[in-house]
Structure 1
Amino acid sequence: MRLETKHTIRYATLLVLSCLLVSTALAQSTRKLLRKGNRFFERGNYREAASYYEKALAKEPANVKVLYPAGVSYLTFDKEKAADYLYRVQKLEPDFDRDLDYWLGRVNLINYHFDTAIEHFQEYQEELPKRYAERHEEVKRLIQNAKNAKQEVANPKDVFVKNLGEAVNTLYSEHSPAISLDDNYLLYTSRSEKATGNQEARDGEYFEDIFETKRTSEGEWDKPSVVAGELNSSVHDASIQLFDNDTKLLMYRSENNGDILVSERGAGGSWGKPRSISDQVNTRDFEADAFITPDGQTLLYSTSHYSKNGDLDIYMVKKDEKGNWGSPISVGETINTPYDDDSPFLARDGSLYFASRGHNSMGGYDIFVAKFDPVANKWTVPENLGAPINTPDEDTYYRLAPDGSYAYLTSYRLGGFGETDIYRINYIRNVNVSGQVLSKADGTSMPEVELVFNGMQANKHPISYRSVSDASLANYKVDLLSGRKYQVQFLKDGKLIGEQEFEVPLVLDEATTLTQNFYVD
């Protein structure tokens, strides 16, 4: 399982359960339901745990011993409900558990209430005994995540993030899109009930399988199906990257603690039996994700093998003259942090995109980009791609299109279908606007009128564009950032002669044109 979707409750589950010892004061039927829920909670099967907690709450809706683990469970698939339940615990019994402020901090962070999250984390730190040094360090990091998130959300980028929809995404986890060169064939990974064998893993989701779908003539994704042949097994299998003109697939399999494999497409279009990419890459430890360059000579991949504390770092191998993979080399401490660094993707312009829980993350994995400086012989300091690409939760598996006009992303964010979903990211484009400046009174042309278009970027920073109608037919032409309103000022000989509002529709493709005539008094 490459993407740990249960990340929000990796810590302190034992402390949660320690305060949930089933009391004899509870009704027998409630005790039985709570015990069953707690057993699933211990296994990391939070969805099933929540179902038993809900049955108990139907009998005793104000029972904090049930509301508390239910709220923590919902963090993994229903953020709003998690907040509701945890705040009900605080209202009913503020001193119920010393970790309550910790969980309230986490639920506020992922629900974009950053100042409130910081307050809860700080209150928790003040009460937490000093002997819990690791927890103190974690909470310090979470406070910084909240500060980073507040900064990024206040300064969003001009991008459009769209869920791929219910044809692909389900209540379960979908992730790791692998896109064909023509963008009409999609391989991706799902843990839904449609997976091969219908076999549940310990955490209640189904074992990962690789699915495929094709784009219809209307531009939507067709009904997906599990990839036939030998790609999928009885363990976790996940897509990574199509390469070599879409004839080969990099993939992940959870055998041997997690390895990177390669499958080749046969003449009939079916995928062959996957094989290990190389013993130089795969080890006894966790290899999670990879990217191979178009020439097939360089592989970037994430591994825990060389880490002191078991986190993922990004390494690189190159082929020698005989076509064999050489020794792994770290991409360096500028990229790799003491936290997980994963999901490398090298764009055609040399930019390295990757996911990291370190650097200035907003919380969980964020997508970062860095460029290689040939003079300094090292990577530049990674830049957070910011909101709305990144969220305070998990954002990973960023796959940029060859022309850089769009990307795909895996994310657990508000408004999704359940757990992680696959999204498409489009960078908002300029539109070429042209037309004439005409007199409102009689429709005659008005040459040499200056047009000033004043608008706002997504981060509320002002933008301004200028054009002048020509001397013959009063034609003007200007490139405007799409998807916003502009206040257009008309000036003649430096004097304001008119002002109008002009709304430019959202444009996601290059070379879009728009005709607009302006009539001025």
Structure 2
Amino acid sequence: MTGCKKHFLVLALGLVVSCMLYSQEKRLEKANENFDRYAFVDARKIYLQVAEKGYESPELFKKLADSYYFNAQLEAAVPWYEKLINKNPDEVDSEYLFRYSQCLKSIGQYEKADTVMEKFNALTGNDQRAQFFMNTRDYLKFIEMQSGKFNLSKLDINSKFSDYAPSFNNRGQLVFASSRGNRTGISKTIHEWNEMPFLDLFSSNILEANGVLEAPKKIKGRINTKFHESSTVFSKDGQTVYFTRNNYTKKRLGSNAAGTILLKMYRATLKDNKWTDIEELPFNSDEYSVAHPALTLDGKKLYFASDMADSKGLSDIYVVNINEDGTFGVPKNLGDKINTEGRETFPYISDSGRLYFASDGHVGLGGLDVFVAVSENANEFSVPYNVGKPINSKEDDFTFVLNEATKIGYFASNRNGGKGNDDIYSFKQIGELITECRQYVKGVITDAVTKEVIPNTEVILMDDANNELQRIKSDQNGKYSFNLKCATNYIVRATKDDYKPTEVILTTHNVLEHEHNLTLQLSKGGLAEKEVKPGDDLAKLLELEIIYFDLDKSFIRPDAEVELQKIIAALKQYPQLKIDVRSHTDSRAGDDYNLLLSQRRAKSTIQYIIEKGNIDKSRITGRGYGESSLVNKCENNVPCSESEHQLNRRSEFISIK
């Protein structure tokens, strides 16, 4: 009997647990329905209730974290991404690692965020966001260098709701989007995404040179509807506006195949002080969003954000030509320099042609950061540069606009300390941004034997064509430094009386603000203290490494370039010096072939000295000697190692005057 009771109790408990699980699963189905139609707040309420009952699953953690992440509540997402990753470390999709890293930045845990990004890089391999991170591991140092270029001010026009997407019109006004509702205080329909009222467009007079704004008024005309309107841009004459709206045309609401209402761009014309003749842009679609327009000063190019078919990430930035008759060309993706697998959005083109945009795919402080890219030609921009603090923060920072004449601008952020969900801030630019990839080389000149510093040493920076770029003297502590461009070949040469000159070839990469440390060691000697007689080999007098060639090749190897630069330095230092270049081969291959090969080697050596060193060709003679002057036993049919044969593939530099 006791056994039966025990069995009945276990069975009853099993039924209770089963019913509880079934109940939770039914509730999760409802939450997932809300989540899939972007009703994140409603979905989250159910997820949290289920989690409080002790229910756990990877899917629950994902949805809970994402419901915060996609509403820009990054701090609140941290514990749920943490649960997901800690409980399923080997099964987590890499995208959740990226989101987790972004959220960790929002609470200032940059070291931990970087560790997560390293794992993200290991899993993805070729993800653009991972590559940008790995190439800018010192991004916090760069952001600090970039920071402090703007003074920020809070604005009284912000509401307790969401205010963002500022733009300038030609009337001295700032136009922006706000969910504050209409002037009667009655808000429009609440949006399920974040339980905020839908957005309308407002304008506010710019009152003072420091960017203070007058109380805003809703824009007149048929632009504002009961759905979202946001992110405007105006033509130079103020007669045309491009703006973003939900898919709502001619009082008909459109959706994609899944029933989701996306974003479209529209164009309107100003008539009798009201916006009318509203039309969709032809490259809109029900199946993807097109949003956030930006115009060039001449009005010939329109930039925007979209997730259309060829987009790389959640949203990419595109450009389209506007023809003289108002029609449009074919939208073009801005490519991998600008777009990543993340979000690139809210473009703005300044009057000078700079592209400002918001991104979470490029490396920043957390959430969306503002970046700037400089126009390199008619169709391309430079790599983007983070504009630094205080524009950027640990939260979302976006919709940056700047009047380059007054240096006054505006942007939006959901950072702490604002009035509402998103607030607009004004700023004054007080410093120039770093907008080119720069690197530095610093070092000390020392004696190769004693290791003592050598002050007042002449240090020369040259390009790879041996053109002098800059010449300085090391200071009393033997220190020197040069500013460099990224991804460029340089030669750094040091010369000092009573010492042999030394040269080092330096190639920079694309890491922003990287510092190369290069100590240059000088050895006593050189031609100054030696009597150079005809027949002397400069390579021996200067104690150069032998100029070697690869098997069956005549091109100048990189290691040979370093030594040839020393020959060039000696020829420049002693204008009366003339040399004869003698090139040799090993014994392999036939005698006639080796003679021709050595002549090619002599020719390429002479050509390098003349072209790279800008040395008069009358000072250099030379020819090839084939295998006639071997330096060891490695004659025909004599077994030798590769290193022994290498000793014979060489060039000599014999003084003839």
Asked whether the two chains share a fold, i.e. TM above 0.5, the reply is yes
Q: Is the 8 A contact 2:174 2:204 kept in 1?
A: yes
Residue 378 of structure 1, CA deviation: 4.6
- The equivalent residue for 1:174 is 163
- The equivalent residue for 2:390 is 388
Q: Does 2:409 match 1:407?
A: yes
CA gap 1:24/1:148 in 2 versus in 1, 3 angstroms: farther
Aligned-partner Cα distance in 1 for 2:25–2:328:
59
- Which 5+ residue runs of structure 1 have no aligned equivalent? 1-21, 431-521
Aligned-partner Cα distance in 2 for 1:54–1:166:
36
Specify which of 163, 177, 185 is matched with residue 189 of structure 1: 177
- The equivalent residue for 1:150 is 140
Residue 342 of structure 1, CA deviation: 3.8
- The equivalent residue for 2:114 is 118
Aligned-partner Cα distance in 1 for 2:302–2:108:
37
1:272-287 superposed matches below 5 A: 272-276=276-280, 279=282, 282=284, 285-287=288-290
> What one-letter code is carried by the residue in structure 2 that aligns with 1:116?
K
CA gap 1:428/1:43 in 2 versus in 1, 3 angstroms: same
- C-alpha deviations, 1:371-402, integer Å up to 9, x for none? 3345x975433333233323455433221115
Aligned-partner Cα distance in 2 for 1:188–1:356:
20
- The equivalent residue for 1:354 is 357
1:348 is paired with a residue whose SS is coil
Residue 86 of structure 1, CA deviation: 6.4
Specify which of 418, 423, 444 is matched with residue 425 of structure 2: 423
Residue 251 of structure 1, CA deviation: 0.8
> What one-letter code is carried by the residue in structure 2 that aligns with 1:186?
L
Q: Does 2:231 match 1:263?
A: no
> What one-letter code is carried by the residue in structure 2 that aligns with 1:254?
N
Residue 115 of structure 1, CA deviation: 0.7
Residue 154 of structure 1, CA deviation: 3.6
**Structure 1 length as normaliser, TM-score?**
0.58
Residue 250 of structure 1, CA deviation: 1.7
Residue 214 of structure 1, CA deviation: 4.1
- The equivalent residue for 2:293 is 290
Aligned-partner Cα distance in 1 for 2:236–2:55:
58
CA gap 1:259/1:31 in 2 versus in 1, 3 angstroms: closer
- The equivalent residue for 1:109 is 105
- C-alpha deviations, 1:186-241, integer Å up to 9, x for none? 32123456686324345544433223344578975455454343112243322311
Q: Is the 8 A contact 1:286 1:305 kept in 2?
A: yes
Specify which of 190, 201, 208 is matched with residue 210 of structure 1: 201
Q: Does 2:305 match 1:313?
A: no
Aligned-partner Cα distance in 1 for 2:61–2:156:
30
Aligned-partner Cα distance in 1 for 2:297–2:230:
21
1:83-102 superposed matches below 5 A: 83=78, 95=87, 99=92, 102=97
Aligned-partner Cα distance in 2 for 1:422–1:68:
31
Greater helix share, structure number: 2
Residue 317 of structure 1, CA deviation: 0.7
Aligned-partner Cα distance in 2 for 1:116–1:186:
40
- The equivalent residue for 1:471 is none
Which stretch of the first structure deviates more once superposed, 286-295 or 136-145?
136-145
CA gap 1:290/1:79 in 2 versus in 1, 3 angstroms: closer
- The equivalent residue for 2:240 is 248
Aligned-partner Cα distance in 2 for 1:124–1:380:
26
CA gap 1:383/1:350 in 2 versus in 1, 3 angstroms: same
1:372 is paired with a residue whose SS is coil
CA gap 1:274/1:54 in 2 versus in 1, 3 angstroms: same
Residue 146 of structure 1, CA deviation: 9.2
- The equivalent residue for 1:13 is none
Q: Is the 8 A contact 1:409 1:423 kept in 2?
A: yes
2:41 is paired with a residue whose SS is helix
CA gap 1:259/1:204 in 2 versus in 1, 3 angstroms: same
Specify which of 370, 374, 378 is matched with residue 373 of structure 2: 370
Residue 289 of structure 1, CA deviation: 2.5
Aligned-partner Cα distance in 1 for 2:37–2:357:
30
Which stretch of the first structure deviates more once superposed, 392-401 or 147-156?
147-156
Specify which of 230, 233, 238 is matched with residue 225 of structure 2: 233
Q: Is the 8 A contact 1:191 1:205 kept in 2?
A: yes
CA gap 1:32/1:145 in 2 versus in 1, 3 angstroms: farther
Aligned-partner Cα distance in 1 for 2:379–2:88:
54
Aligned-partner Cα distance in 2 for 1:28–1:242:
55
2:198 is paired with a residue whose SS is coil
Aligned-partner Cα distance in 2 for 1:317–1:392:
35
> What one-letter code is carried by the residue in structure 2 that aligns with 1:260?
M
Q: Is the 8 A contact 2:311 2:333 kept in 1?
A: no
CA gap 1:28/1:243 in 2 versus in 1, 3 angstroms: same
Q: Is the 8 A contact 2:205 2:213 kept in 1?
A: yes
Aligned-partner Cα distance in 2 for 1:412–1:337:
23
1:216-227 superposed matches below 5 A: 220-227=212-219
> What one-letter code is carried by the residue in structure 2 that aligns with 1:411?
S
- C-alpha deviations, 1:138-173, integer Å up to 9, x for none? 9846965994653444434223464644632434x4
CA gap 1:152/1:395 in 2 versus in 1, 3 angstroms: farther
Aligned-partner Cα distance in 1 for 2:181–2:132:
34
CA gap 1:337/1:104 in 2 versus in 1, 3 angstroms: closer
**Structure 2 length as normaliser, TM-score?**
0.48
Which stretch of the first structure deviates more once superposed, 234-243 or 281-290?
281-290
CA gap 1:113/1:181 in 2 versus in 1, 3 angstroms: farther
Q: Is the 8 A contact 2:372 2:384 kept in 1?
A: yes
Aligned-partner Cα distance in 2 for 1:140–1:34:
33
Aligned-partner Cα distance in 2 for 1:301–1:78:
25
> What one-letter code is carried by the residue in structure 2 that aligns with 1:385?
V
Residue 409 of structure 1, CA deviation: 1.8
Name the larger-Rg structure.
Answer: 2
Q: Is the 8 A contact 1:264 1:274 kept in 2?
A: yes
1:344 is paired with a residue whose SS is strand
1:197 is paired with a residue whose SS is coil
Aligned-partner Cα distance in 2 for 1:72–1:361:
20
CA gap 1:224/1:50 in 2 versus in 1, 3 angstroms: farther
2:140 is paired with a residue whose SS is helix
- C-alpha deviations, 1:255-293, integer Å up to 9, x for none? 2754332223333x33324223x53x5466532232234
- C-alpha deviations, 1:34-66, integer Å up to 9, x for none? 776665445433334445566678x77x88778
Q: Is the 8 A contact 1:23 1:31 kept in 2?
A: no
- C-alpha deviations, 1:74-122, integer Å up to 9, x for none? 44354444446766x59xx953786598465342122231111233455
Aligned-partner Cα distance in 2 for 1:330–1:179:
25
